[in-house]
Structure 1
Amino acid sequence: MLPASRFLVVGALGLAAAASASAALPTVLQARTSWIGNTFGFGDGVWTQINITAIAVTPDGRVYTNAPWDESGAEVSVYKDGKVLGTAGGTHGWGNYGGNAIALNRRYAFVAVGVGNERGKLSKPGVWPPKGTQWFGVSRRDIGDMKRSVAFQANLAADKDGHAQLAAAFLMINEAPEDKRGAPKTDELRQDVGGLAATDALLYVANTAMNRIEVYDAESMQQKGKWNATQPGRLALAKDGTLWALVDSQGGKARLAHYTPAGVTIDDAPAFAAGTDAVDLTIDGQGRLLVADNGPRQQVLIFTRDGGANKYRESSALGERGGIFSGIAGRPGPQRFNGLTGVGVDAAGNVYVSTNGIGVRQGSIGAGLGTTLESYAPDGRQLWLVQGLLFVDGAWMDPARPNSVYTGNKRFELDLSKPVGQEWKYVGFLSGRFKYPEDPSFSIGDWPGQPIARKIDGRTFLYLTDMYSDHLKIYRFDSKRDGELAIPSGYFAGRERGTESIPNHPPHGDWIWRDDNGNGRFDANEFDVNNGLLPNPGGWGWWVDAKGDIWHTSDVRGINRFRYGGVDRVGNPKYAYDNAQNYPMPAPFNVVKRAVYEADTDTMYVTGYTADEPFDRGFWKEVGRRLVRYDHWSKEPQQRYSIELPWDTKSKPLATTIGLTLEGKYLFTVEPVGMVHVYEKDTGREVGVIKPGPEVGGASGWVDVPNGISASRQANGEYLVFVEEDARGKVMMYRWRP
């Protein structure tokens, strides 16, 4: 531990403060705007949604989708031939949510949705549920204009208010208690609609929680019948009017059931092979039954009627067995499915498959593993593919390979000679849920976060923060054994929040885990508990320097440094509380939010708040209002300069700073709305700003990851600046040449 007195003279040693960031309008730098991770960049107003959990297909190949959440309201979207035709709207905000089912007839799209009341802030009888409750049901839309709801409740239809118009076309199936966030629950109780199917006359609804299938008139929306079925899920109608269903759908071991139109069981449903996790089904023009299997096989199973036995048997499959985890594990490609959620077919026999990296029932993980929607010809050729791969996810250049980029759970390769938006190629999925089921990515609802990739002692490690900077995950790689997969290697529990589902975790939230035996699991003897050796910062700032030391800031307890201790026998980087130290709060700060250390020069960049620039609890993710550079940090710190960072909480959009990074001769910071500020690293002088260009509609979503920015200097002197972009399923990539 170093004495607190080392900082008493820091302010006196500093050079004159850099000019105020608000003194003059900064120069807008000439930078080329591009992106990675989404088929569309929003330059023409469209994007691939960040999650798809259900699809329905028209005879002519239009694909209608649904999901509980897309950050910019594209929960329900329409695609054809690899293009976005439009979004439905009315499924995002003002208490409205998407869902996990969708069905079509010739006139309508029937969409599973949730309706809340924003913690009681919305109140109107029939439009929003009473305070403390939420509704799950079906919204009826015009199939030719999904933005137009088609009313069947005359009393609400007479009200010209837009919310009442939506409510007039909403069929409430279940009312349930509201969760503490004021949003529809997605837990095991499953009060939402699990499946839908429709003819021109009838609508079939899987009321999963009530263990029944309900039948409604498609025009009046009045109930016409119902029958018992155990936890019914997805539904599919055959040409003869019979109904297929997945039942027992909540435990990962769904089975098939076949019913007459009146609900009488038909005894011809095939049994699934062991390990099958059936999540969706459809019937093609040949009468074959197609089942999306989200188990280890990751295939669409095809069942054909065996005429002699009057039974169905599995006759073939679409997709490489094992999906993305077969062969070179984690390598994407045609028919290498990853987290199947939906299957559909058109009149020509083309098959459509949706995935999201995990499956329909996501638990705490949310949407963050990347969605795809793809089409295959009857002979198995891929016809088209759209991708929305990133959400609350930053990017960092791979230190071991040129033109390789890591995000929180993916790897991309760049070809900068290609047109805007086409420079990237998705080449690696990092999260192996079958081989490494205890990977915290699958058990902690903290979203991917901001990666930092470092090459240390000849090995590449990926360090990953989360949306709230609660914890730090560490991954190692073994391409010969695991392909593209990132192997869980270490974990810093900065707080207790979020660690409840980690096996064998110590009490409270101040411990380090290292995978001593190399199995990627949290075994009981692999934890190092602080026990008072070091102040627990519990703060927002994580940084990994180029030599592998981990820095963690506190609001009020200074800065902790965990020294890299080499690798253990299985290749994990070693960190321990007895090889760490605490640096006290440096003057002039009374709250520290980030500490970015440059190991080669022993230079530290600290951000936070001072007595004259106090912390505002309403802006808790920000880096603070001041940045100070300290030279000779580990010996006798000297303040070189002090920068007043953008801070205007009244402006629209908000002007504060959410992240910072270093590269080459420059310091890069980013505002929550995505504008990048560039400073000379040596002097602190602001060079200018980079703003989103027309290639992305001049728009960037909220930067929702603390420090959601990185930069890489290319051999030709060009800088690539990556910024997390919360709104439309991508990471911004700015190309700037000083």
Structure 2
Amino acid sequence: MLINFAGLAQTLPGTYSSSWIGNTFGKGGKPESLNSAWMQDYVDQMVVQPDGTIYTTSIWDEAHREYGVYKDGKVYGNVNHKINNQEITIDGKRWYIDGNLIKGPHTITNAGIPKGLAKTPDNKLLVADDGPRKQILFYNVKSIPKLVETFGVKGGIGAAFTAGYPLPAATNTHAFAAGKYPPGFYHPFKLWDLTGVGMDDKGRLYVSTSEGATSIRCFKKDRKNRWILDFILENYIFVDNVDYDPTTDAIDLYGVQEHFVMDYSKTTPGGQWRLKGYTADHLKYPNDPRNILDVKAGHEHGLTSARIRYINGKRFLYTQGMTCQMLNIFRFEDNSEIAAPAGLIMETNHRMYDHPLTYPWPPNRPTIEPGTMIWRDLNGDGDYQANEYSKSIISYSPNFWIDRKGGIWEAANPIKVRNCAGLDSKGNPIYDDANIDSHQISGIEKIGKVIYQEDKDRVILLDNSCRDLKGSKVYAVDNWSKGNRNARFISELKSLNPSSIIAEDNYIFEAGFETRAEVFVTDITTGKRLGSMLPSDELGGVKWTGWVDIGWGINAFKRKNGEFLVFVEDDFLSRVILYKWCPTGTCGGS
């Protein structure tokens, strides 16, 4: 829906629209209502009824769909059916999961890491194996269990796969071409983080995944007896925001572990995005924090707010936490969508939330004492060895900005800039105390947040930090590269309780806690508030969005056609809100 505010007092000039990214559905409302729909945060268990009705359970859903009910690619409410996919009865005989074994009349020892059980209409045992195979296993259990069939690409998302035939478009998803899918490139046959399996009376196969990427995929046989998609339900975003690839005019967007491709010509809310790649491989990199629930999510939310940067032509992913608690760096592998752990900067005595200081991540961390540690993947294995840590004499700052050259700006007065000293032999960015610049700023006493706008040669400063921005004043330092270090006051932040800001072109965009996904826009030149943007009713309105409560919960990019894309974290419905704003009302192209 396009909203035009031209001529109205104190409202945003031009036109804007609202959409979402990362969830199949995005209409807010009560979880039991059939007029609202979203894919839940996690699917810890799934069972499928003979008619194809799907029941799920979840350890957490921010909007309280802990017990999802789905059928034929649609959402049908929230009812606790007290399911248990850890056991199944076949021909009167009970089979159940016991650790990595499946026990029953016989013990199955070769099922990998079984996460869920079900049966086929002809009474084969189905197993969701989340071990190294990442496959669905079919066992004939009429006598001694025998593995007779598998489904899925062996090795999951991190495997190279050549699809021998195309998959036609299906409910909630596009078509997939035949051909090569290198590691990390998404194809529905690549499974990971499996939690359940099922089959209905029509022989349709259902697979549930969770944590890294929550989904329910339903497959059916075509006329050539080949598996194809019937429908898919997806949720890839929870407590995260996306960043754009500036080299593609924001056609490519990245979350902490997702690579989305956008089609901005589409106008249906939620219809612009598709998943191109998944960048985390926990088989190859088991200590990647994106694969460790207590670090990535849990109560820590240590990895949010992706930043994509190119250094010496190589692509890197930087992530910051919900409370700005650490900076993780990942390097993208060649000819792959997988990003390997490459660097980490955090306090040596940082305690993972709700865990003791002895919590074993990162592995082999230095003696726990005050100070800042820098880890770099010296041997290139994406893991954390004791000899790969170094100490920094510069105090840790929770308020980072990553510039376009990979420089890490740490908010304080003086501002410290950890310049990237190039790439090492394994392709990791080099940060050390020998390559730090210090800049004392006049006109402002305390600096809590910093943003460097290279295209404007301007530094934006706030006097409060991370996500605690209430009462913050905004300053600008113009002509930075010419040596100016004097800050000029712009304005105070405009929202009730702001948590996040971003500067793009000549505008400040801000969002906050109680104001949820409402975005307030300020002119940097004049300091004047121009107005705000709100989600449309097609998204459920602002009422059905969450508090923006992460340190970098808003992002923005001006496209070549003059249109601004504004991205806002929305953990309530596990999505990112997308606003498209044209200040003139006449932005062309898509």
Query: TM-score range, shorter-chain basis?
Result: 0.7 to 0.9
Q: Does 1:452 align with 2:303?
A: no
Q: Which secondary structure state, in structure 2, belongs to the residue aligned with residue 110 of structure 1?
A: coil
Aligned to 1:536: 396
Contact 2:467 2:500 in 1 (8 A): no
Instruction: Give deviations 1:398-456, integer Å, cap 9, x for gaps.
Output: 13334110111100000112232111010111111111112122342443300111223
Deviation of 1:587 after TM superposition, in Å, equals 4.3
Distance 1:624 1:559, change over 3 A: farther
Distance 1:536 1:479, change over 3 A: closer
Distance in 2, Cα, partners of 1:476 & 1:485: 8
Contact 2:157 2:281 in 1 (8 A): no
Equivalent in 365, 372, 389 of residue 505 of structure 1: 365
Distance 1:696 1:28, change over 3 A: farther
Contact 1:623 1:659 in 2 (8 A): no
Contact 1:632 1:638 in 2 (8 A): no
Contact 1:551 1:595 in 2 (8 A): yes
Q: Which secondary structure state, in structure 2, belongs to the residue aligned with residue 525 of structure 1?
A: helix
Equivalent in 525, 528, 533 of residue 682 of structure 1: 525
Instruction: Give deviations 1:489-547, integer Å, cap 9, x for gaps.
Output: 111114622374212211335111111222111122222202xx32333x3x2211122
Equivalent in 694, 704, 711 of residue 556 of structure 2: 711
Deviation of 1:640 after TM superposition, in Å, equals 2.9
Equivalent in 552, 568, 577 of residue 410 of structure 2: 552
Q: Does 1:490 align with 2:339?
A: no
Q: Structure 2 counterpart of 1:522, which letter?
A: Y
Distance in 1, Cα, partners of 2:13 & 2:534: 7
Aligned to 1:568: 424
TM alignment of 1:170-249, pairs within 5 A = 196=84, 234-238=86-90, 240-247=91-98, 249=99
Q: Does 1:110 align with 2:85?
A: no
Contact 2:467 2:551 in 1 (8 A): no
Deviation of 1:623 after TM superposition, in Å, equals 6.4
| Identity value in percent | 32
Larger radius of gyration: 1
Segment of structure 1 superposing worse, 469-478 or 454-463: 454-463
Q: How many residues align?
A: 522
TM alignment of 1:256-655, pairs within 5 A = 256-258=102-104, 266=105, 268-272=106-110, 276-305=112-141, 310-327=143-160, 328-356=182-210, 367=211, 369-378=212-221, 379=225, 380-402=227-249, 403-418=251-266, 419-443=268-292, 444-445=295-296, 446-447=300-301, 448-480=303-335, 483-494=336-347, 496-498=350-352, 500-507=360-367, 508=369, 510-530=372-392, 533-537=393-397, 539=398, 541-553=399-411, 559-583=415-439, 587-590=443-446, 592-609=447-464, 621-622=468-469, 624-633=471-480, 635-646=483-494, 655=496
Deviation of 1:662 after TM superposition, in Å, equals 2.2
Distance 1:542 1:624, change over 3 A: farther
Aligned to 2:50: 59
Instruction: Give deviations 1:577-634, integer Å, cap 9, x for gaps.
Output: 22224445754444x331112245542211125xxxxx9xxx9633652111122457
Contact 1:661 1:667 in 2 (8 A): yes
Aligned to 1:169: none
Q: Structure 1 counterpart of 2:213, which letter?
A: G
Deviation of 1:46 after TM superposition, in Å, equals 1.0
Distance in 2, Cα, partners of 1:405 & 1:711: 12
Contact 2:130 2:195 in 1 (8 A): yes
Distance in 1, Cα, partners of 2:41 & 2:279: 18
Contact 1:299 1:318 in 2 (8 A): yes
Distance in 2, Cα, partners of 1:515 & 1:322: 24
Distance in 2, Cα, partners of 1:623 & 1:568: 41
Segment of structure 1 superposing worse, 310-319 or 574-583: 574-583
Deviation of 1:667 after TM superposition, in Å, equals 2.3
Aligned to 1:668: 509
Aligned to 1:255: 101
Contact 1:57 1:344 in 2 (8 A): yes
Equivalent in 47, 62, 66 of residue 38 of structure 2: 47
Aligned to 2:174: none
Q: Which secondary structure state, in structure 2, belongs to the residue aligned with residue 72 of structure 1?
A: coil
Segment of structure 1 superposing worse, 622-631 or 728-737: 622-631
Distance in 2, Cα, partners of 1:398 & 1:626: 30
Contact 1:436 1:487 in 2 (8 A): yes
Q: Which secondary structure state, in structure 2, belongs to the residue aligned with residue 400 of structure 1?
A: helix
Instruction: Give deviations 1:703-726, integer Å, cap 9, x for gaps.
Output: 132121111211211111111111
Distance 1:67 1:645, change over 3 A: same
Deviation of 1:730 after TM superposition, in Å, equals 0.7
Q: Structure 2 counterpart of 1:464, which letter?
A: T
Contact 2:322 2:551 in 1 (8 A): yes
Structure 2 runs not aligned, ≥5 long: 1-8, 29-34, 161-181, 353-358, 584-590
Distance in 1, Cα, partners of 2:13 & 2:54: 41
Aligned to 1:697: 540
Q: Which secondary structure state, in structure 2, belongs to the residue aligned with residue 695 of structure 1?
A: helix
Aligned to 2:6: none
Q: Structure 1 counterpart of 2:325, which letter?
A: D
Distance 1:623 1:633, change over 3 A: farther
